[in-house]
Chain A
Amino acid sequence: MWLYEKKLQYPVNVSCKNVQLAKWIITQYGGPDGELAASLRYLNQRYAMPTERAKAVLNDIGTEELAHLEIVGTLVHKLTKDASVAELKAAGLGGHYADHDRALFYVDAVGNPWTAAYIQAKGDPIADLTEDMAAEQKARATYNWLINLSDDPQVTDVLRFLREREVVHFQRFGETLNYMQEYLSEKKCY
């Protein structure tokens, strides 16, 4: 069961319409290291975890990623709202307009649709937690590149918040991995 809270986790403001920036940022909506992939990866891996701590961490970080998905969606929506067809075409979003008009879709920065092939569930807690740590680092790096591309300080502020969250999640997953290794080595003694 999930509850929806009618607010964003972090406030999102944009200085002005910026279709080009939206085209890049959408990769964190539906790209390989984006928030949809993160959320679905973690929430799905919960079931196979042997410790209560790992289940809790995956549940709660997976839920936070849904809040990030909404932040990224809000950024893209605000940056493309009222964009003309000519502006969409000029930013390389003519193809997106043909398939989706100004609607959001789960795509990366060059328009590839989201695929479950971006994520994995191995059933092996060490393999899965290691994947999760790598995923957080890849998402952090993506936010870094997006910050380098951004020419809107208000958008950069939001991207910096999201980048910081990847660092915190990496830390929590690292602690979860250490605890899992201890748990598994103790289990072998019996």
Chain B
Amino acid sequence: MAVNDPCLILLRKIQQMEFVALELNLYLDIHPDDCKALEQYNCTHKELCELKRQYEQQYGPLLNYGYGMNTGNNWRWAEQPWPWEM
């Protein structure tokens, strides 16, 4: 897949937002009373949900085990390339 492929561009945005969420998560684990970080975490969560919804609708599920929606008439989980093949 080419680097400028729209699928990879959207995936890159998700990776960036997830990175922000993870950094805040680890920080909050040991600073649970930091209200500003908590607020930022919740904002990030909202943006991340929207990006993942867009991605899953267009390119197939990111999560399985019932945590992601399978749109279309066939099982898309096993159809999309795996991360080490992209």
Main secondary structure on chain B at its contact with chain A? helix
Report if B30 contacts A (CB, 8 A): yes
Main secondary structure on chain A at its contact with chain B? helix
Is there contact, CB below 8 Å, between A7 and B62?
A: yes
Report if A6 contacts B (CB, 8 A): yes
Contact with A along B31-42 (1 / 0, CB 8 A): 110000000000
Is there contact, CB below 8 Å, between A7 and B29?
A: no
Across-interface contacts of A64 in B (CB, < 8 A): 22, 26
Is there contact, CB below 8 Å, between B15 and A9?
A: yes
Is there contact, CB below 8 Å, between B15 and A6?
A: no
Report if B17 contacts A (CB, 8 A): no
Report if B25 contacts A (CB, 8 A): yes
Contact residue range for chain B?
20 to 34
Across-interface contacts of A5 in B (CB, < 8 A): 62-63
Report if A20 contacts B (CB, 8 A): no
Across-interface contacts of B30 in A (CB, < 8 A): 53, 56-57, 172, 175-176, 179
Q: Which 9 A-B pairs have the closest CB atoms?
A: A56-B29, A74-B84, A8-B83, A175-B30, A57-B29, A77-B84, A172-B26, A5-B62, A53-B30
Taking beta carbons and an 8 Å cutoff, which residues of B are in contact with A? Answer: 3, 8, 11-12, 14-15, 18-19, 22-23, 25-27, 29-32, 61-65, 67, 77, 80, 82-84
**18 A/B residue pairs, CB under 8 Å, sorted by A:** A3-B65, A6-B77, A6-B80, A10-B15, A11-B8, A12-B84, A53-B29, A53-B32, A57-B26, A60-B29, A70-B83, A70-B84, A73-B84, A74-B83, A78-B84, A168-B23, A172-B29, A175-B31
